[in-house]
């Protein structure tokens, strides 16, 4: 049996299409859908409760974050296979069946991830190398990546040169669409709940690979992903949580070995937050002035 877990937070614009695509595209019938709603302020929970009677809905009284919400669903579900799916995704084919077949045929694989496409059909880079002392400063959200978008360190870290049409052994895959066996989760532990949002998928894949199992990218499983819609809270929340998550990852696995790096990383995270925040505020003020000028002109 497959347990499909969807964590929602203000996802009313996407959740119908997500669940509809699962029910239409998934050929296997031995699956359950478990939605954990993190106290959405919109009608997400009501839509699921009223329109999808065969979906199990767990409603949290507060937003407990991605890691905790997934762990709640894992504990209360029945499937031997666990499929994590973001609410802003739509299955293009029998994506879940493809991953389940792949895991059943490859017992040396602990986690498998889908090929993700943006809604315009372009490829989303959904795999990465593990962050290290160098590439952490060149990630997708980094200042250096924005200043030098084609730099070789970022391209290597984000696997931009990887053939995304071929099955690949990778370090980690996005939690937006990933499948694991339940016994794999029991062996390495579920999501680390010190992460509220972001980096928890990196951490779990790290433990899976440390256990001797592979993490695989499987392009035959195709899913469209409206990237960022499930976490769209503005700069302060998403940027802050990503940087905090990355710091916790290094504190957990690397900083104890290199105290100097830990200090540099901490300072860099503060610098990144400060620069992006002030740039964000600058453009906010510019747009505000423009809007006021247009109103006066009219």
**Is 85 strand, coil or helix?**
strand
* Helix runs in 28-181, H state only: 44-51, 66-76, 95-105, 143-147, 152-157
- Would you say residue 154 has pLDDT above 80? no
Instruction: Name all domains of the chain by residue range, CATH numbers in brackets.
Output: 2-297 (3.90.550.10)
Exposed e or buried b per residue across 190-229, where buried means at least 16 C-beta atoms within 10 angstroms of its C-beta: bbbebbbbbbbbbbbbbbbbeeebebbbbbebbbbbbbeb
Confirm if 202 and 172 have CB atoms less than 8 A apart.
yes
More confident residue, 145 or 82: 82
Band the pLDDT of 62: cuts 50, 70, 90: very high
More confident residue, 289 or 85: 85
Closest CA to 135 of 249, 17, 222: 249
Q: pLDDT tens across 192-229, in order?
A: 999 988 899 999 999 999 999 999 999 999 999 997 55
Q: pLDDT tens across 95-150, in order?
A: 999 999 999 999 999 999 999 999 999 999 999 998 876 666 666 666 566 677 77
Band the pLDDT of 70: cuts 50, 70, 90: very high
The reported pLDDT for the residue numbered 139 is 65
Confirm if 24 and 94 have CB atoms less than 8 A apart.
no
The reported pLDDT for the residue numbered 292 is 55
Band the pLDDT of 67: cuts 50, 70, 90: very high
- Would you say residue 297 has pLDDT above 50? no
Closest CA to 92 of 17, 35, 2: 17
pTM for this entry: 0.84
Count the alpha carbons within 13 Å of 99 in the hemisphere toward its beta carbon: 33
Band the pLDDT of 71: cuts 50, 70, 90: very high
Q: pLDDT tens across 236-291, in order?
A: 566 677 777 878 888 888 765 666 766 776 676 667 666 666 766 676 677 666 66
């Amino acid at each position: 049996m497959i347990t499909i877990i969807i964590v929602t937070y203000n996802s009313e614009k996407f959740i119908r299409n997500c669940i509809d695509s699962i029910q239409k595209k998934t050929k296997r019938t031995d699956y359950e859908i478990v939605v954990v709603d993190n106290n959405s302020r919109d009608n997400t929970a009501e839509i699921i409760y009223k329109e999808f009677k065969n979906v199990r809905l767990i409603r949290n009284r507060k937003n407990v974050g991605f890691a905790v919400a997934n762990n709640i669903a894992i504990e209360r579900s029945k499937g031997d296979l666990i499929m994590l799916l973001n609410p802003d995704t739509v299955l293009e084919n029998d994506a879940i069946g493809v991953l389940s077949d792949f895991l059943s045929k490859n017992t040396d694989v602990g986690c498998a991830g889908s090929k993700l496409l943006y809604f315009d059909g372009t490829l989303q880079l959904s795999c990465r190398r593990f962050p290290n002392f160098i590439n952490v400063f060149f990630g997708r959200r980094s200042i250096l990546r924005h200043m030098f978008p084609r730099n070789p360190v970022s391209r290597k870290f984000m696997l931009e040169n990887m053939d995304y049409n071929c099955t690949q052994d990778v370090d980690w895959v996005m939690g937006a669409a990933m499948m694991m066996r339940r016994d794999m989760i029991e062996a390495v532990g579920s999501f680390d709940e010190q992460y509220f949002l972001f980096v928890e998928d990196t951490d779990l894949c790290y433990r899976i690979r440390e256990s001797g199992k592979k993490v695989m990218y499987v392009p035959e499983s195709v899913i469209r992903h409206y990237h960022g819609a499930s976490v769209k809270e503005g700069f302060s929340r998403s940027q802050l949580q990503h940087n905090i998550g990355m710091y916790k990852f290094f504190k957990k696995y690397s900083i104890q070995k290199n105290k100097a790096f830990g200090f540099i990383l901490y300072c860099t995270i503060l610098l990144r937050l400060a620069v992006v925040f002030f740039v964000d505020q600058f453009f906010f003020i510019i747009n505000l002035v423009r809007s006021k000028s247009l109103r006066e002109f009219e």
